Chain A
Amino acid sequence: MIIIAAIIIIAFVVGISYYNRLIAKRNQITNAFSAIDVMLKKRFDLLPNLVETVKQYTKYEEGVLTKITELRTKASSAQLSNQEKIDLDKQIGTAVSGMMITAENYPDLKANQNFLNLQTVWTESEEQIAAARRNYNFSVTDYNNAIMMFPGSIFAGMLDYKPVQVIENAPEERQNVSAKDLFNN
């Protein structure tokens, strides 16, 4: 009788522990994405200043600048899902990288201190977002492992927890492209 009671108590404690651990891992993913979100916002806030500075020196790049402004408006207006935010950031990243390369053709712009500062802050934000994404992906993998492995899978079924997709890094992040190459400093 005592043995059966002990087994039930142990099973109950282990069950609660697993249940709490799954919830903690799930919350960890939300936390990790919040970190990306904060950094994305910081990055998007750089855009108006960057566009204004570039506009003063370039005459023939209206198309690129307009596209960046549009993307920025989209990023700040609507209620976007996590995936949409990531996709938007990818598009903005590609557009700004193109703009930075174009800046090479404008010596006055390249020498502008404000532009140089913005370039530096932009690079820093790229690296910080990459780090935050890697942290998010780690949290997702940790959570996915927990809900797919026994006995976590039982609780995951009860809680209707589904595997979450990791954020695929942009090809340049996989290669860990140097910002030096990007800006050709």
Chain B
Amino acid sequence: MSDFIQDPGLLGLLQELDKDRLNIVAGQRKAKIVMIAGGVLLLIAVLLGMTTLFTLVPCVAILIYGFVLKSKMDFPLKLYKDTFKQKIVATALKDIDPSMVIEPLNGMSEEEFKASQLFTTSPDRYVSEDQISGQADKTRFYFSEVKAEYKDESTDSDGRRQVSWDLIFNGIIFTADFNKNFIGTTVVRPKNVASTLGSWITKALSSFSDKQVVELENAEFSEKFVTYSTDQIEARYILTPAMMEKLCELNRKSRGSISLSFIYSRVYIAFPMDHNYFEPPLKTSILDSDILEKDILIVRFLYDVVKELGLNTRIWGKS
């Protein structure tokens, strides 16, 4: 358990939460058993041809009772999760920086996600939660968990329509005030087959696009990323040699390849992740779980982005 939980009140709350967790798990297990029992009885009745009202009604009633039991656990589960985030995660955040707050139900809006221009595909299904905001010295920042998907519809050889959901992004999007003023848009995307082809097309048709490919001098940066901008000079004003090195370093520390956009005098950074952070455990005890340490680690990492990118250095007429 993390060091910040030294407060006896907080420890008491954790113990209470663990009791709630056990009650929820027991309630869910009971609901599951009742539903399975109802389902099995219904199956036996159908297989034996006993499809009379007298046999079917009790089976269905047992099934419905199972669903009721399960839905009765929804509210305690929500309360358990909310209390964990509002009290435990919030205290852990204050321990890192007193200005940090978590808003579990808030996240990056879909409009802001699109406006950030981090990704070229517009989402058809979008979820964002657990927004954490704060101020590291002069720089205000916030980050949220985001999952964005698009719908892929196709028709098979028999003429049947098939719908699948493809991932645009799953992870955390971080945004902060950038320390320099700029008016255009600069986007930095990981280099892969699609983005290389995209940059080739953009270069070939540069007069038809509002953004141009920016070829930068840092070999490692150019190997990892493709940069587009509405202004070649402004892109270089933002992506100084030192900034490119810092971004390569940040990319090395991240699990997946990061994407960035510099727009509306802000920097947006998308960190792909496959873990759902800030969620309390259900199957293991809160008291002996390491799960909060993983959360603290990611918050510290994102909090340090401000320092690592030197966003507090305000010597460019932006205070």
Q: List the interface of chain A (C-beta within 8 A of B).
A: 35, 117, 119-121, 123-124, 127-128, 130-132, 134-135, 138, 174, 176, 178-180, 183, 185
Which of the residues B233, B241, B242, B317 comes within 8 Å of A35, measured between beta carbons?
B233
Q: Across the two chains, which residue of chain A brings its CB closest to B310?
A: A178
The interface residues of chain A, by DSSP majority, are classed as helix
Contacts of A121 in B (CB 8 A): 317
In this complex, how many residues of chain B approach chain A with their Cβ under 8 Å: the count is: 16
B237 — which chain A residues lie within 8 A by C-beta? 127-128, 131
Q: What is the CB-to-nearest-CB distance from B211 to chain A, in angstroms, rounded to a whole number?
A: 15
- Please, how many angstroms separate the alpha-carbon atoms of A183 and B236 in the complex? 23
Contact with A along B40-69 (1 / 0, CB 8 A): 000000000000000000000000000000
A-B contact pairs, 28 of them (CB 8 A): A117-B317, A119-B315, A120-B315, A120-B317, A121-B317, A123-B316, A124-B180, A124-B316, A127-B180, A127-B237, A128-B233, A130-B236, A130-B240, A131-B234, A131-B235, A131-B236, A131-B237, A131-B240, A132-B233, A132-B236, A135-B236, A138-B215, A138-B217, A138-B232, A176-B240, A178-B242, A180-B313, A183-B315
Q: Indicate if the CB atoms of B233 and A123 lie closer than 8 Å.
A: no
Per CB-CB distance, the 6 closest pairs between chain A and chain B, nearest first, are: A131-B236, A131-B237, A176-B242, A134-B236, A124-B316, A120-B317
CA distance A127 to B315 in the complex (A): 11
Which B residue's beta carbon lies closest to that of A120?
B317
* Inter-chain contacts of B232 with A (CB < 8 A): 135, 138
CA distance A138 to B316 in the complex (A): 24
**Chain B residues within an 8 Å CB radius of A128:** 233, 237
Enumerate chain B residues within 8 angstroms of A176, measured Cβ to Cβ.
240-242
Contacts from B to A (Cβ < 8 Å): 180, 215, 217, 232-237, 240-242, 313, 315-317
Beyond A123-B316, A131-B235, A134-B217, 17 additional pairs, beta carbon < 8 A: A35-B233, A121-B317, A124-B180, A124-B316, A127-B237, A127-B316, A128-B233, A130-B240, A131-B236, A131-B237, A135-B233, A138-B232, A176-B241, A176-B242, A180-B313, A180-B315, A185-B315
Task: Verify A123–B315 contact, CB threshold 8 A.
Answer: yes
B234 proximity list for chain A (CB < 8 A): 131
Cβ of A174: which chain B residues have Cβ within 8 Å of it? 241
Is the pair A179, B233 in contact by a Cβ cutoff of 8 Å? no
Cα A138 to Cα B213 with chains together (Å) = 12
How near does chain A come to B314, taking the closest CB pair, in angstroms?
A: 9
CA distance A12 to B233 in the complex (A): 35
Q: How far, in whole Å, are A97 and B235 apart by their CA atoms in the complex?
A: 25
**Closest residue to A176 on the B side, CB-wise?**
B242
Q: How far is the CA of A178 from the CA of B233 in the complex (A)?
A: 19
The answer for the CA separation of A183 and B314 in the assembled complex, in Å, is: 13
Closest to B245 in A: A176
Write out the residue numbers on chain B whose beta carbons fall within 8 Å of the beta carbon of A179: 315
A84 to B315, CA, bound (A): 29
Q: Which residues of B contact A117 (CB under 8 A)?
A: 317
User: Is the CB–CB distance between A131 and B241 below 8 Å?
Assistant: no
Pick the most buried of B180, B217, B316: most chain A CB atoms within 10 A of its CB: B316
Q: For A180, what are the chain B residues with a Cβ–Cβ distance below 8 Å?
A: 313, 315
Nearest CB of A to B206, in Å: 10
**Chain A residues within an 8 Å CB radius of B217:** 134, 138
Question: CA of A34 to CA of B171 in the docked complex: distance in angstroms?
Answer: 43
Q: Which residues on B sit within 8 Å (CB–CB) of A178?
A: 242, 313
The smallest C-beta distance from B14 to any residue of chain A, in angstroms, reads 44
A180 to B317, CA, bound (A): 13
CB-defined contacts of A138 to chain B, threshold 8 Å: 215, 217, 232
Shortest CB–CB separation between residue A166 and chain B, in angstroms? Answer: 11
Pair B313/A127 contact, Cβ less than 8 Å: no
- Measured in the bound complex, the distance between the Cα atoms of B180 and A179 in whole Å is 13
- Assembly CA distance A5 to B233 (angstroms): 45
Chain B: CB-nearest residue to A177: B242
Residues of B within 8 A of A183 (CB): 315
List the A side residues contacting B315 at CB < 8 Å.
119-120, 123, 179-180, 183, 185
Residue of A nearest to B181 (CB): A124
